[in-house]
Structure 1
Amino acid sequence: MRRSPLPGLMTVTRRRFVLTSQAELPGQGHPDRRRTLAVSCLGVFLLVVALTALNVALPEIAGDFDAEIDDLQWIVDSYAVVFAGLLLAGGALGDRIGRRAALILGFAIFAAGNGFGATAGSVNVMIIARVIAGLGAAIMMPATLSAISEVFNNQDRGRAIALWASLAGAGGAFGPAIGGWLITISGWQAVFVLNAALAVLGLVGARVWVPVLPGQRTGRFDIIGTVLSVAAVGCLVYVAIEGPGHPLAVTTISAVIGSFVFIAAFIAHERRTPDPLLPLSLFDDRDRVAGAGTLVIAAIGFNGVLFVAALLLQIGWQETALVTGLLLVPIGVIEVIVANTCMPLSERFGVSNVITFGLVIMAVGYVGMGLVPEGNRPVFIVAGLVAGAGNGLAIPLSVDRVVGEVEPAFAGSAASLNDMSIELGASIGVGVLGAIQRIVFEAQLDEGQSTLVSDIASDESRSAFRAASNAGLFFAAGAMIVGIFVARRTRSGPEPVATVAGTQS
């Protein structure tokens, strides 16, 4: 049984997610709880769609801008670096200014970034637009979960957060198909226009429907911690993207050194400051550390595979954007379905065992995707279903471990830690798997042959690109095996069983 050591701490049940507050909401909760839930679900759906829909648009963007693979990596990761680097700051900001204000600010910045992205005429301009959108996402994402926790009572809060999580999964499931459909009827710009339009809708909804939820945390905002966290994440992702191709370059070595220096400085600063961005006591629980590590590794595989597979299908297989999106949809759909069964399975077989099994079948699915012959759509779908099922087992239970027992005033920071683990893994996954794809592809080309994505047209070059993509998929499978050892480094003793707030299981 997993108990909260102090009254009013946030607990998570394996049957349902529950974030408790110190003062119970009377009756059915806040009168505007369902409207707040609608706005929060729109926000998390939008953020996931913004990531997955863009993957399908990358080949067309590459053609318009004469981009190489590393250009596409930075278009994707510029968003993810800022998103991951500022998630802790975004959660802490919401703890201070309130959830409604954080939602409005996040939606507004996200809409501006995507509107700017739709007008981009070069890779550099698009990267700037993605950075702006990432800033908005970092403010919005923690507020979507924290707002739900504040307006629902204990009885209904679990179901509300389960719906929130399902909408996140639905964004991953249908994002590629939405992106493929928009590109088919219009162009890559339509993906950004849709994101901006949905963000405006969310902004209006937050302004009209979400009640004023005052901040629960006082004290000075940790600006130094924010700068150090962004610098550390930026250095890590730079090494992931540029390091494999230029391991001895001055910039790569500087980024490696910077990663260690900024991480060490961040930890030292957070230990000293009275108002930390990230309370380091969260890491005293080995279950939480194992959960965060598992999320990072699972996201490395899952998001890196989506990046590589979207390019493989459109360039290596010559599928259309719409067909590519449809081939990737089953991965997300099965993830949502399986995620709703993982809690009962964990009660029967144990959390570590279910997560381990999930990582194993993720690895099997990624290997299968890499071994599928060109054009064999049914087998590719089956391999994707296997990988998606594994993700559906591993991710929710790892989230359960991360967002365990934490004071309500730090609910935003705890949610941010969970989100940052996933986004950091996503950034590294796109960087590493994309780098492997690029390096293996370029190694097979003749000297002087073009490396532009839009120039991959001959049978020989497409064959080389397929082999390079498969190398990335195989690497993702290996990462999942490493994840097993991380997932099983938990506290000693019997498997913990989480409690519903105020009850026992």
Structure 2
Amino acid sequence: MPLFANTPAEKMTEPYPRRWWALLVLCLSLLIVVMANTSLVVAAPDLTQDLGLSSSDLQWVIDGYTVPYAALMLVLGAIGDKYSRRGALILGLLIFAAGSVMGGLVDETGLVITARAIMGVGAAVVMPATLSLLVAIFPRAERAKAITAWSATSGLAIAAGPVAAGWLLQDHAWGSTFLMNVPIAVLGVVGALVLVPPSKAKGMGRIDYVGGLLSIASVGSLVYATIEGPHFGWGTGPITAAVVAGLSLAAFIVWELRHPNPMLNVRKFKERPFSGSMLAVLFFFFGTFGSIYYSTQFLQFVLGYDALETGIRLLPLAGAVFVGAAVTGKLAPKLGVKLMVGTGMAIGTAGVFLLTQIESGSTYTDFLAPLLLLGFAIGLSLSPATDTIMGAFPESELGVGGGANDTALELGCALGIAVLGSLLATSYKDKLTELVGGHLPAAAMDTAKDSVGGGIAVAEQVALNPQGGAQQAQALLGAVHESFAHSIAHTSLIGGIIMAAGTLIVIAVLPGRKRVAKHRQEQTDGTARQTETVGAA
């Protein structure tokens, strides 16, 4: 009996019979790509101690993954469209696995960052391939449900990464958090060969590589400047990157408007459903990932939970994602994208604002409601927005559509962690300086102000002093905890205001349900006319 996966999706007259099994493979592939970011957060203390990382080193161990991941998705999505979406998925998983093996075996900072960059390249191939294959395999009537499952997997990965990494770190070194990706990637490759049908765009012209290079330069430079500038100062490097990003973006827009077969048809941003959904993904992940980033630090450094305990306490967020996904699956067809996305963003904004109540005496229960609201908001908003974005692209550009969606998502995450993380660090330094003043030697004070982990480390050293060290250490530790709690509350206020503004912008841009239906009908009629013209020719 021949495997269904040997028949190209484009040649099937009936829906692909193994499509739900294929979706499982796509979600599994997505899972490890997202877990690669969240799992490293809980492994950061072990990495820092073992490799002697500075704050700059640690930032680039984390973000060495983000820059190629965000910059390459659009181009690699187009290449997958032209040559093979399934082939792109398999190749991306293999690259990802290779980077994971390297990261798990090396013990030098530069090599760990290189391994993370290789993983980021693999992720940039995998992410758009999962979405383009999903849309190619599923008929329109089932596509929203499939995208809901895809979106819910992202929420699951947020909690699954720390849980899996925390469990491994109980008995193994930090390298195990890299190596755990390898068997999952191998399983994904086998699953893709057996269950996912081959797929590529029909009648796709030459790839616009100039536009692709300009997109890489603009997004990559923007992400680099966003990471480096707020954290380490706006020196020559970040300023140069910001200028390159602006010039490259302008050149990209001009080139794409004039090119007969552009990498990304920028005129799509005139379509309110598309542009509104892209903004929703960007703003939403700006606020949610930034909030999760510093909430996780509070659980570890202030409340003293280890990696596994922290991961377990993020599980309610994953559960709330599934509840939100179930709700949006039922209500989105009836109420429309605008109401579902707007409501989800408003709920997420409320979750961020709740974090303004965090104090030095706060416990896990004070984080539970914000985590539940953020998880429910992810489940409620992400799948309708993603479905709208993918619906704006024809069959020949599904990889580009997936790349556009995922670039907005990853850019939002990078901006959220960088901008809100920078505000967090500045607020923490100012408050700690106010509380501690000149009671510490300059070198120790600099270390304590660098991060909450640095402050705790200094307090541990002070405690070793036999002459009143314990009392001084307790006072310093209290000041560190109070400063970090203050910085979370202050940063959450600013993050919530940005989220609220983004919510209002998205609600203003997204059209109502009737306009969306009319727009989709116009797209369908246009596609039918194009098909008739080709047939007549």
State the match for 2:393 in structure 1: 406
User: Equivalent residue of 1:244, what SS?
Assistant: helix
3-state DSSP of counterpart to 1:186 = coil
Matched, 1:244 2:230: yes
1:474 matched residue in structure 2: 493
Name the counterpart of 1:461. Answer: 480
Select 2:94's aligned residue among 73, 89, 108.
Answer: 108
What's the counterpart of residue 232 of structure 1? 218
Contact persistence 1:351–1:495 (CA under 8 A): no
- Mapped to 1, the partners of 2:87 and 2:242 lie a distance apart of 37
* 8 Å Cα contact 2:337-2:384 kept in structure 1: yes
Q: Which of 300, 310, 320 is residue 296 of structure 2 equivalent to?
A: 310
- Tell me the CA shift for residue 119 of structure 1: 2.2
TM-aligned CA deviation for residue 109 of structure 1: 0.5
Task: Kindly indicate whether the alpha-carbon contact (under 8 Å) linking 2:148 and 2:329 is maintained by their aligned counterparts in 1.
Answer: no
Comparing 44-53 with 69-78, greater Cα deviation is found at: 69-78
Q: Which has the higher helix share?
A: 2
Q: Which of 373, 377, 388 is equivalent to 1:386?
A: 373
Matched, 1:124 2:95: no
Q: 2:58 aligns with which of 72, 83, 90?
A: 72
Is the alpha carbon distance of 1:241 and 1:406 closer, same or farther for their aligned partners in structure 2, counting shifts above 3 Å?
A: closer
1:210 aligns with 2:196: yes
Give the drift of 1:70: 4.0
- The one-character-per-residue Cα deviations of 1:35-68 (angstroms, maximum 9, x if unpaired) are 4333212111221222222222222222223334
TM-score, with length taken from structure 2: 0.82
Per the TM alignment, residue 380 of structure 1 is displaced from its structure 2 partner at its CA by 1.5
Amino acid at match of 2:501: V
Residue pair 2:104, 2:176 contacting (<8 A) in 1 also: yes
The aligned counterpart of 2:257 is: 271
Aligned equivalents of 1:350, 1:330: Cα separation in 2: 27
Structural mapping, 1:167-246, within 5 Å: 167-216=153-202, 218-244=204-230
Alpha carbon RMSD of aligned pairs, Å?
Answer: 2.8
Distance change >3 Å, CA 22–CA 34, structure 1 → 2: closer
Return the TM-score normalized by structure 1: 0.87
Question: For 1:488, which of 501, 504, 507 is the aligned residue?
Answer: 507
The amino acid of 1:327's aligned partner reads R
Q: Tell me whether 1:98 sits opposite 2:97 in the alignment.
A: no
Map of 1:36 onto structure 2: 22
Once the two structures are aligned, what percentage of the paired residues are identical? 31
Which structure has more relative contact order (CA 8 Å, sep 6+)? It is 1
Moved more, 395-404 or 37-46: 395-404
- Report how far residue 196 of structure 1 moved: 2.1
- Determine the C-alpha separation between the residues in 2 that align with 1:274 and 1:312: 51
Q: Tell me by how many angstroms 1:478 deviates.
A: 2.0
Deviation at 1:340, TM superposition (A): 2.1
Instruction: Report Cα offsets for 1:453-473 as digits up to 9, x if no partner.
Output: 653323133433333343333
Residues 173 and 227 (structure 1 numbering): CA distance in 2 closer, same or farther, change over 3 Å? same
CA distance in structure 2 between the partners assigned to 1:97 and 1:117 by the alignment: 30
Q: Which residue is equivalent to 2:131? A: 145
Q: Given residue 405 of structure 1, which amino acid in structure 2 is its aligned partner? A: A
CA shift for structure 1 position 297 = 0.9
Q: Distance in 1 between matches of 2:286 and 2:57?
A: 19
Q: Which amino acid aligns with 2:413?
A: A
CA contact (8 A) 1:217 1:410 kept: no
Structure number with bigger Rg: 2
Residues of 2 paired with 1:400 and 1:466: CA distance? 38
Residue 228 of structure 1: CA displacement?
Answer: 1.9
Change (3 A) 1:186 1:492: closer
- Which whole-Å CA distance do the structure 1 matches of 2:342 and 2:24 have between them? 34
CA contact (8 A) 1:110 1:133 kept: yes
Question: Using a 3 Å threshold, how does the CA distance of structure 1 residues 339 and 161 change in structure 2: closer, same or farther?
Answer: closer
Does the C-alpha gap of structure 1 residues 165 and 493 become closer, same or farther in structure 2, counting only changes over 3 Å? closer
In 2, the alpha carbon distance for the partners of 1:494 and 1:151 equals 26
Aligned length: 482
| CA-CA distance at 1:423 after TM superposition | 0.8
Of the three residues 30, 36, 41, the one matched with 1:50 is 36
Q: 1:432 maps to which residue?
A: 419
